[in-house]
Amino acid sequence: MRQVIAGARIFDGAGFLDGRALVIGDGRIAAILPEAKAGAVTHRIGGILAPGFVDLQVNGGGGLMVDGGTDLAALRAICASHRDLGCAGILPTLITDRPEATAAVIAAGIEAARAGVPGFLGLHLEGPHLDPRRKGAHDAALIRPMQDDDLARLCGAARALPALMVTLAPESVSPQQVAALSGAGAIVSLGHSDCDLDAAGAAFAAGAACATHLFNAMSQLGHRSPGLVGAVLAGDAHAGLIADGIHVHPAAMRVALAARAEGLFLVTDCMAFAGTDAAEMRLGGRRILRRDGRLTLEDGTLAGADLSMDRAIATLVGQAGAAPERALAMATSIPADLIRAGDRLGRIAAGRAADLVRLDAALALRAIWRDGDFHNPRPASGRTAI
């Protein structure tokens, strides 16, 4: 069925195209044309039409966490819940756990890739090779240095999965291990680390390409000791940012945006709460509470984020002063390029799958197209949209 969508500003992954119409046929983008040349309009909308979001840090959704019990069905359900929130694809994320849990999630991920689960882009393994001094909500008892069998498991996963991101701390690995992971195709991301500038620089030089949730759970920027934050802001590595206004103050977001013209991208770091009205859940036997837009352990430690990608975009624009096109790129083309999926995700162009979102003037998600089919979105809280 041929569709012509007109009336919206089209964000193509880099900038806005105004006065254009999007033509969809057989589930793919057929053309972007001046509206006068596009033919009969089937959908006249307002707001912004953008590529589906790409989220590289998703701990769970739809009531399910990524954990040692995660199987193909669970990954399918988590991916589906985030597709209902506007994501074209995600990296389900396992936080620090036992070796057998890591092995089980990797096996499930390989099975999901082979099954072609919609929205499954690979895995993000956040730990266990971290620094307990910057553990955040991770279980310190499970944090440990990387051993040879860990390295072999991760390198094998990197070769078998569409994408593998591994968050680690330079304190728990060697530069040779970082180089081996990078050489196997893993995207090595530094995080949960108290390293100094030199140690961060050595890890980046060895092949690390990214930092996990910039500013959070890492050594901070000091004028004599720049830390991991300083290494990111003064360097060229990518870095994820949780733009909920809680994990990072808007003033710090503005500093990061000013320091780095490119390379920053948005993540939600969301938990099983996404797409539900649940008030609490458990993480490794510990209670996580959902209160006033925050997710915390009982002691008040932040434990992931109660965040959707459209709200992250709106926060970055409204509170941190980002240009809308930059915030949109941080949720689409930039993360897609980082995981080497930019040839099929994160952009609107002729020949690509018609995986699209419509945002209103307040940058709230209002409609989704998946392979050209229209869907109403599910609000992040699970409540009915207005």
Q: What is the pLDDT of residues 283-309, one digit of tens each?
A: 878 899 999 888 999 999 988 899 999
Question: pLDDT digits over 257-274, tens only?
Answer: 999 999 999 999 999 898
**Kindly report the CA angle at 211 between 94 and 167, in degrees rounded to 5?**
30
Name the pLDDT band for 34 (thresholds 50, 70, 90).
Answer: very high
DSSP structural state of residue 372: T
Q: What pLDDT score was predicted for residue 381?
A: 55
3-state secondary structure of 118: coil
- Write out the two tokens for 266: 């948005």
- Whether the pLDDT of residue 384 is over 50: the answer is no
What is the DSSP secondary-structure string of 251-293? HHHHHHHHH-SS-EEE---B-TTTTS--SEEEETTEEEEEETT
pLDDT (tens digit, 9 = 90+) per residue, 58-116? 999 999 999 999 999 999 999 999 999 999 999 999 999 999 999 999 999 999 999 99
User: Which tens digits make up the pLDDT trace of 180-225?
Assistant: 999 999 999 999 999 999 999 999 999 999 999 999 999 999 999 9
The one-letter amino acid code at 244 reads D
CA quadruple 330, 172, 138, 128: dihedral positive or negative? positive
Q: Where in the chain is the domain with CATH 2.30.40.10?
A: 3-50+348-375
Q: What does the block give as tokens for 253?
A: 């977001």
Provide the sign of the torsion angle of the four alpha carbons 298, 304, 307, 313, taken in this order: positive
Report the Cα 366 to chain-centroid distance in Å.
Answer: 20
Q: Which of 12, 269, 310, 337 is catalytic?
A: 269
**Average pLDDT of the chain?**
95
CA–CA separation, 123 vs 140, rounded Å?
Answer: 22
CA–CA distance, 14 with 330 (Å, rounded to integer): 10
Q: Is the pLDDT of residue 51 over 80?
A: yes
pLDDT attached to residue 383: 39
**Which structure tokens are listed for 345?**
């995700």
Q: How far apart are CA 348 and CA 3, in angstroms?
A: 15
Question: Which homologous superfamily does the CATH classification assign to the domain defined by 3-50+348-375?
Answer: Urease, subunit C, domain 1 (2.30.40.10)
pLDDT of residue 179: 98
Asked if residue 6 has pLDDT above 80, the reply is yes
List, for residues 148-160, the tens digit of each pLDDT value.
Answer: 999 999 999 999 9
For the chain, helix, strand, coil in percent to 5 are 30, 25, 45
Annotation marks residue 373 as catalytic: no
- Tell me the per-residue pLDDT of 128-176, one tens digit each, with 9 for 90 and over: 999 999 999 999 999 999 999 999 999 999 999 999 999 999 999 999 9
Q: Choose between 123 and 299: higher pLDDT.
A: 123
In this model, does residue 379 exceed pLDDT 80? no
Q: How far apart are CA 160 and CA 87, in angstroms?
A: 23
Kindly indicate the confidence band of residue 386, based on its pLDDT and cuts at 50, 70 and 90: very low
Q: Where in the chain is CATH 3.20.20.140?
A: 52-338
Owner of token pair 């709200």: 311
Q: What is the mean pLDDT of residues 314-332?
A: 98
Q: H helices then E strands: how many in the chain? A: 10, 23
**High-pLDDT (> 70) share of the chain, %:** 98
Q: How confident is the model at residue 38 (pLDDT cuts 50, 70, 90)?
A: confident
The CATH number that domain 52-338 falls under is: 3.20.20.140
Region for residue 115 given its phi and psi (left: phi exceeds 0; alpha: psi -120 to 50; beta: otherwise): alpha
CB atoms under 10 Å from CB of 99, counted, come to 15
pLDDT at 382 over 50: no
The pLDDT value given to residue 123: 98
Residue 312 to residue 299: CA distance in whole angstroms = 25
CA 80 to chain centre: 15
Give helix 99-115 / helix 148-160 axis angle, nearest 10°. 10
pLDDT of residue 149: 97
Closest of 240, 209, 238 to residue 307, by C-alpha: 240
User: Long-range contact list for 316-319, CB < 8 A, 24+ apart?
Assistant: 316/241, 316/243, 316/253, 316/266, 317/363, 318/363, 319/245, 319/250, 319/253
Q: State the DSSP H helix or E strand holding residue 106, giving kind and residue range, or none if neither.
A: helix 99-115
Burial of 196 (0-12, 13-18, 19+ CB in 10 A): middle
